Chain A
């Protein structure tokens, strides 16, 4: 089960499993962002390349508009996926 929630203070909360079956839903919500954004990963248990691609697209769009895009509170296994993908060098991960 996957969920994505936008809060009023520019935080996106992800939870559950972000796999290829859920990536389009994530992409639709992330596509509405138009300001500096923090993504809270504390409740996300799993991510695959489909989820990573949705986040990369969002980062590129916001970055081009001059907005920050920060990823915070990643579980070690999620952080490892970003590292294996080489995205720890591209994205702002805390």
Chain B
């Protein structure tokens, strides 16, 4: 498993994509995983950045490759709970100011990955994403 912490800003996205790309390359995994896992990571990370209420601490990401799956864990510390698995589906008719947290981005995460889990304990949100690896 590898892990890294990223400052809470969209400016961290390049570093996040590099983190995922390096992991996929180093383990000789399917290069297309960079896009799917990168997309899931961006959507979940930017969701925490946009809707976190004043949290300042860096966001932790960890990647692990098991024989049949890639696991991405995202942790937000000292955070209020927001269960991403319960986010409502997107409404393209609602103006941006009225859209609910999650929406389109979380919908995409659910579509491109195989499992999305959320746990909240000790004021820490832990989001786990699982992407099955092709044989």
> Contact residues of A with B, CB < 8 Å?
17, 19-21, 45-46, 48-50, 52-53, 56, 77, 80-81, 84-87, 90
In the complex, the answer to whether B90 meets A19 with C-beta atoms within 8 Å is: no
User: Across the interface, do A48 and B92 meet the contact criterion of CB distance under 8 Å?
Assistant: no
Q: Are A81's CB and B39's CB within 8 A?
A: yes
Q: How does the 8 Å CB contact mask read for B82-101 relative to A, with 1 for contact and 0 for none?
A: 00000000101000100000
B: residues with CB less than 8 A from A are 10-11, 13-14, 17, 32, 35, 38-39, 42-43, 46, 90, 92, 96, 103-105, 107-108, 111-112
> Is A53's CB under 8 angstroms from B96's CB?
yes
Which of A17, A19, A45, A85 has the largest number of chain B CB atoms within 10 A?
Answer: A19
Q: Which residues of A contact B104 (CB under 8 A)?
A: 49, 52-53, 85
B96 to chain A, nearest CB (A): 7
Q: How far is the CB of A53 from chain B (nearest CB, A)?
A: 7
A20-B10, A85-B108 known; A50 and B46 CB under 8 Å?
A: yes
Tell me which residues across on chain B come within 8 A of A90, comparing CB atoms.
92
Whole-angstrom distance between the alpha carbons of A19 and B35 in the complex? 11
* Residue of B11, B32, B108 touching A49 (CB-CB under 8 A): B108
On chain B, the residues within 8 Å of A77 by CB distance are 32, 35
State whether B32 touches A19 (Cβ < 8 A). no
Q: Does B35 contact A48, Cβ atoms closer than 8 Å?
A: no
Give A46's nearest chain B residue, CB to CB. B35
CA distance A77 to B104 in the complex (A): 17
Distance of A52 Cα from B96 Cα, bound (Å): 12
What residue of chain A has the Cβ atom nearest to residue B112's Cβ? A84
